[in-house]
Amino acid sequence: MMLEESIRILAMQEEILQFSHFTNEDAWELGSLMVAEAARNHLPVAVSIRLNCGYTVFQYGFKGTSYNSEQWMLRKYNTVRTMEMSSLRLFMLLKKNQESLEAYGLNEKEYTAKGGGFPIRVAGAGVIGSVLVSGLDHMADHEFAAACMSQYLRIDGIPRLPVTF
């Protein structure tokens, strides 16, 4: 799949997977759904839902996750909060333009262009937070987040990327 098409699909996912509102209860329900899906599929992931103000409203880590998972999620959160797009879309944009994070003024110690950070976009308000996943290949981290958000929002048939790239 060409990079332009991947970028277009990722932008469409972000546009489609919008919330009409997002509360702490929504974070609990979405996070709980993600944990249940990960448990059902035996996925050793850490899941976090954070608001742009820095407040973590949900977090859970399965056996096999660690402080390293927390650090990856923090870097993905910083990326989504700053760029207002999924961390995977930034990865694709950088790859297409043959650029690095530094081209956008982003430090690799605080940001990452790897999948697993997905914006929480509220209609009429914009990006207010992030859904974060760490523990799988970065493409699979993104796919898991997008699939769970699609399930939670009851939106079928969102465009998808292949898990391997």
- CATH number, domain of 24, equals 3.30.450.150
Which of the four pLDDT bands, split at 50, 70 and 90, describes residue 164? very low
- Confidence at residue 161, expressed as pLDDT on a 0 to 100 scale: 87
114 is a domain residue: yes
Q: 134-154: per-residue pLDDT in tens?
A: 999 999 999 999 999 999 999
What are 136's two structure tokens? 């799988």
**106 and 91 in contact (C-beta within 8 Å)?**
no
- Confidence at residue 157, expressed as pLDDT on a 0 to 100 scale: 87
162 is a domain residue: no
58 is a domain residue: yes
Q: 11-25: per-residue pLDDT in tens?
A: 999 999 999 999 999
158 is a domain residue: no
| Nearest CA-CA partner of 136 in 114, 151, 118 | 114
- Confidence at residue 165, expressed as pLDDT on a 0 to 100 scale: 30
Q: 37-85: per-residue pLDDT in tens?
A: 999 999 999 999 999 999 999 999 999 999 999 999 999 999 999 999 9
Strand partners, 129: 51, 120
**Tally of domains within the chain:** 1
**144 and 161 in contact (C-beta within 8 Å)?**
no
Which of the four pLDDT bands, split at 50, 70 and 90, describes residue 163? low
User: Where in the sequence is the domain holding 124, given as residue range(s)?
Assistant: 3-153
What are 89's two structure tokens? 């879309």
160 is a domain residue: no
21 is a domain residue: yes
- pLDDT tops 70 at residue 8: yes
What are 39's two structure tokens? 């448990």
What are 10's two structure tokens? 């990722």
18 is a domain residue: yes
Find the mean pLDDT for residues 120-147: 97
121 is a domain residue: yes
Which tops the pLDDT comparison, 42 or 164? 42
